[in-house]
Amino acid sequence: MTQRVQQQIEQLRAELRHHANLYYVLDQPEIPDAEYDRLYRQLQDLEAEHPEYIRSDSPTQRVGAKPLTSFSQVRHRVPMLSLDNVFSEDELAAFNKRLRDRLETEQELVFSAEPKLDGLAVSLVYEQGELVQAATRGDGNTGEDVTSNIRTIQSVPLRLLGEKIPDVLEVRGEVFMPKAAFNKLNAEASANDEKTFVNPRNAAAGSLRQLDPAVTAHRSLAMYCYALGYVDGDLPSHTHSEALATLRHLGLPVCNEIEIVTGVEGCMHFYHAILKKRDALPYDIDGVVYKVDDISLQEKLGFVSRAPRWAIAHKFPAQEEMTQLEGVDFQVGRTGALTPVARLKPVFVGGVTVSNATLHNMDEVRRKDIRVGDTVIVRRAGDVIPEVVAAVTSRRSGDEDMIHLPEHCPVCQSDIEQVEGEAVARCTGGLFCRAQQVEAIKHFASRKAMDIDGLGDKLVEQLVEAGMIKSVADIYTLEKEQIAKLERMGEKSAENLIAAIDRSRTVSLARFIYALGIREVGEATARNLADAYQGIEKLKAADEEDLQTVPDIGPVVAKHIVHFFRQPHNLEVIDQLLDKKIGAIQFEAVPVVKASSSALSGKTVVITGTLSGITRDEAKQSLLAAGAKVTGSVSAKTDYLLAGEKAGSKLSKAEKLGVTIIDEAALEKLLSA
Residue-wise pLDDT for 587-642, tens only, equals 987 554 444 457 888 788 888 888 887 887 788 878 877 878 777 778 888 899 89
**pLDDT digits 0-9 by tens, 102-122:** 999 999 999 999 999 988 899
Alpha helices in 278-392 (DSSP H): 295-301, 362-368
Which are the contacts of 426, defined by CB distance < 8 A and separation ≥ 6? 335, 336, 337, 338, 416, 417, 418, 419
**What's the pLDDT band for 1 if we cut at 50, 70, 90?**
low
∠ CA 663-664-669, rounded to 5°: 100
Which residues lie below 8 Å from residue 422, measured CB to CB, with a gap of 6+? none
The residue length of the chain stands at 673
pLDDT the model gives residue 258: 96
Give residues with Cβ within 8 angstroms of 261, minimum separation 6.
Answer: 110, 111, 113, 267, 269, 270, 290
Summarised one tens digit per residue, pLDDT across range 345-357 is 998 887 688 999 9
State how far the alpha carbon of 468 is from the alpha carbons of 478, 493, 503, 579, in Å: 8, 17, 20, 19
Weakest-pLDDT range from 262-266, 365-369, 640-644, 668-672? 668-672
Q: Above 90 in pLDDT, residue 434? A: no
For the entire predicted model, the pTM comes to 0.51
Q: What pLDDT is stored for residue 50 in this prediction?
A: 85
Is it the case that residue 27 has pLDDT exceeding 60? no
Q: What is the pLDDT of residue 419?
A: 66
Per DSSP bridges, beta strands 660-662 and 640-643 are parallel
Fold adopted by 509-587: DNA polymerase; domain 1 (1.10.150)
CA 161/CA 532 separation, integer angstroms:
59
Q: Say if residues 663 and 612 touch (Cβ distance below 8 Å).
A: no
Quote the CA–CA distance of 313 and 286 in Å, as a whole number: 9
What is the SS3 assignment for 31-69? CCHHHHHHHHHHHHHHHHHCHHHCCCCCHHHCCCCCCCC
Phi, psi of 515 (to 5 degrees): -65, -25
How confident is the model over 64-79, as pLDDT tens digits?
Answer: 556 656 789 999 998 8
Say yes or no to pLDDT of 536 above 50.
Answer: yes
Alpha helices in 71-150 (DSSP H): 89-103, 147-150
Instruction: Give the model's pLDDT for residue 4.
Output: 84
Torsional sign, CA 429, 435, 437, 441:
negative
The pLDDT of residue 69 is: 66
C-beta of residue 629 within 8 angstroms of C-beta of residue 605:
yes
**Fold for the domain defined by 595-672:** Rossmann fold (3.40.50)
Who wins on pLDDT, 125 or 33?
Answer: 125
Which residue type occupies 11? Q
Task: Say what the pLDDT of residue 67 is.
Answer: 60
What is 430-504's CATH number?
1.10.150.20
Active-site residue, selected from the candidate residues 97, 116, 179, 442: 116
Domain 2-61 classified CATH 1.10.287.470? no
Comparing CA positions, the residue from 167, 171, 144, 138 lying closest to residue 157 is 171
What per-residue confidence (pLDDT) applies to 597? 57
Q: Confirm whether 430-504 and 509-587 share one CATH topology.
A: yes
pLDDT attached to residue 595: 45
Q: pLDDT, tens digit, for every residue of 250-289?
A: 999 999 999 999 999 999 999 999 998 988 899 989 899 9
Comparing 312-326, 425-439, 450-464, which segment has the lowest mean pLDDT? 425-439
CATH 3.40.50.150, domain 89-315, yes or no:
no
Q: Inform me whether the pLDDT recorded for 498 exceeds 90.
A: yes
Asked if pLDDT for residue 62 goes beyond 70, the answer is: no
Q: What is the pLDDT of residue 44?
A: 83
**Which H or E run contains 202?**
helix 200-208
Question: E-strand spans in 319-361?
Answer: 319-332, 338-349, 352-358
- For the purposes of burial, counting CB atoms within 10 Å of the CB of 215, is it exposed (0-12), middle (13-18) or buried (19 or more)? middle
**Cβ burial, residue 642 (10 Å; 0-12/13-18/19+):** buried
> DSSP secondary-structure letter at 490?
-
% pLDDT > 70, the chain = 94
Q: Are 368 and 384 in contact (CB under 8 A)?
A: no
| Residue (of 233, 439, 478) closest to 335 by Cα position | 439
User: What's the whole-number mean pLDDT along residues 490-512?
Assistant: 92
Answer for the pair 438, 432: CB distance below 8 angstroms, yes or no. no
Least reliable range by pLDDT among 55-64, 207-216, 616-625: 55-64
Query: pLDDT-derived band of residue 580, with 50, 70 and 90 as boundaries?
Result: confident
- For residue 244, the model assigns a pLDDT of 95
Query: In one letter, which amino acid is 216?
Result: T
116 has catalytic annotation:
yes
Architecture (CATH level 2) of domain 320-395? Beta Barrel (2.40)
pLDDT of residue 593: 46
Question: What mean pLDDT, rounded, does the chain reach?
Answer: 86
Candidates 563, 561, 585; CA nearest to 573 is: 585
Of 168, 73, 179, nearest in space to 126 by CA = 168
CB 567 within 8 A of CB 516: no
pLDDT for residue 235 is more than 80: yes
Number of Cβ atoms within 10 Å of the Cβ of 269 = 15
CA 312 to chain centre: 14
Every domain of the chain and the residues it spans? 2-61, 89-315, 320-395, 430-504, 509-587, 595-672
